[in-house]
Amino acid sequence: MKWTRWLCVFLVGLVAVQAAQAREGSRPFQVLNRIRAEYDDNIYQETEDKDSSFKLIEEVELRVNLSLDNTFVSLRYRPSFTYWDDRPSDKTDLNHDLDLVLNHQFSPRLGLSLVESLRRGELPELIDGNVVVREKDDFWYNTFNAAVVYRFRPQTQVEVAGRHALLRYDEEEVSKTEDFDIVVGGLTLRHQLVPETAVLGEFRAEQVEYEGPDRGSESLFAGAGVEQIFSPNLMGRARAGYQQKDFNSKEVGSQSVPYGDIALTFLPTPATRISVGAGYSMFETDLYPFASQDRTQIFGSLAYDITARIAFYLTGAYTISEYDSSQAIEKDMVKSGEDNFAQVSTRVTYQVNRSNWIEAGWQFVDFESGVRTVADEQYRANFQRNRVDIGWKTQF
């Protein structure tokens, strides 16, 4: 991990050297506080005999933005605390989110962008009655992206990018099947055809490695995309290509499938914003012993300003995960099947004044699994979960 230490030194040095050049204007520091009271009707994600609980969620969000002549640094840290009124195993969770963005322009045509996201989650052992429903699932999740972009013409640029993602569970029993490392390298050539249209070609290489039994793979992606401004109120982008995945397990072999995604942003009125899209690709999975899933996802989001102070938000997503028994590293365990996952969330906010908002929200999750064991037993439990909350957000 020596390189990460050098990277930290480099980042800190870069900021320190140029800090004196920081611009005047907005405040470089921001602090927000959000507190919510929530009712959760299925805290263990059970099919029947659900356990419910009230909870109190407290979040503090610290933001630092430094805008220098050629460098922009943004740091966001959000610790959060949850108190559960009726969760016998453990009444509190303490979580952490950290996001760092660094953009640096070396010259008019050469730029660097670094994005770091770190998540620390506490998911304590859950005990229902006299049975341990889930082991302690405390985890670390981290992604680090680096992209170098070079503009060799005003309308044409090439980007070389890399990514590392890792997941680590504290509990050995969980980590031996779930922990992963993903390394990605990518090259993108992008050209602006006309002001309204840009096209791109992309090449990606991805390596997925798991801690325990080998569900890993190496993939190559090649594709093309287009970004289009249809009108001042409508813009969209689409990407499509082909993915070749070679699994580490010889029994699983390899698979080639097309991939693609599409997204549209639309403003039918000045007060209404809509975003919709869909995507299909092979994706890694948390469902052992499968080494991969074919994932189809559609989503839609709506934001509507009812008045200057009252806003309404609605968002939903539907995911279909298809599992093929030929892609299981232990073929005598499971049959082919698919999981369906629906998620809906809505929220209303009222801006009391410049710095305070009160809010109310509802979230719904419906998970239905069609994956069964070779003995024809349900492999994962179906569940539905509702959460309702009211809260207060303030910006200091």
3 state DSSP class of 356: strand
CB of 103 to other proteins, least distance (A): 7
Contact criterion met (CB below 8 Å) for 219 and 244: yes
Output the smallest distance, CB 325 to other proteins, in A.
14
Q: Which is nearer to other proteins, 86 or 330 (CB)?
A: 330
Q: Cβ-count burial of 391 within 10 angstroms (0-12 exposed, 13-18 middle, 19+ buried)?
A: buried
Distance in Å, CB of 232 to other proteins, minimum: 2
For every residue of 237-281, DSSP letters joined together read EEEEEEEEEEESSTTT-EEEEEEEEEEEEEEEETTEEEEEEEEEE
Residue 46: phi, psi to the nearest 5? -95, 155
138 in Cβ contact with 125 (< 8 Å): no
Q: Is 14 in the site for other proteins (CB under 8 A)?
A: no
85-104 b/e (C-beta count within 10 Å ≥ 16 → b): eebeeeeebebebbbbbbbb
Residue of 387, 362, 345, 381 lying closest to 53 (CA atoms): 387
Residue 195 lies near other proteins (rule: CB under 8 A): yes
* Interface positions, 70-89, toward other proteins (CB under 8 A): 72, 74, 76, 78, 80, 82
Q: Considering the complex, what minimum distance in angstroms separates the CB of residue 99 from other proteins?
A: 4
Among 23, 256, 268, 310, binds other proteins (CB under 8 A): 23
Q: Closer to other proteins by CB, 190 or 252: give it.
A: 190
> Does the protein bind other proteins through residue 56 (CB under 8 A)?
no
The two tokens of residue 259 are 């991939």
| Segment interacting with other proteins (CB under 8 A) among 7-15, 47-55, 198-206, 247-255 | 198-206
Question: Shortest distance, CB of residue 16 to other proteins, whole angstroms?
Answer: 20
Amino acid identity, position 188: T
- SS3 call for 201: strand
* Residues of span 103-162 touching other proteins by CB under 8 A: 103, 105, 108-111, 113-115, 117, 119-123, 127, 130-135, 137, 139, 141, 145-154, 158-162
**With binding defined as CB under 8 A, does residue 357 bind other proteins?**
yes
Q: Following DSSP, what letter does each residue of 99-156 receive, concatenated?
A: EEEEEEEEETTEEEEEEEEEEEE----EEETTEEEE----EEEEEEEEEEEEEEETTE
Interface with other proteins (CB under 8 A), residue total 154
Confirm or reject binding of residue 346 to other proteins (CB under 8 A): yes
Least Cβ distance, residue 249 to other proteins (angstroms): 17
275-314 positions binding other proteins, by CB under 8 A = 275, 277-281, 283, 286-289, 297-299, 301-303, 305, 308, 311, 313-314
Q: Which of residues 210-249 bind other proteins (CB under 8 A)?
A: 218-219, 221, 227, 229, 231-233, 235, 237, 239
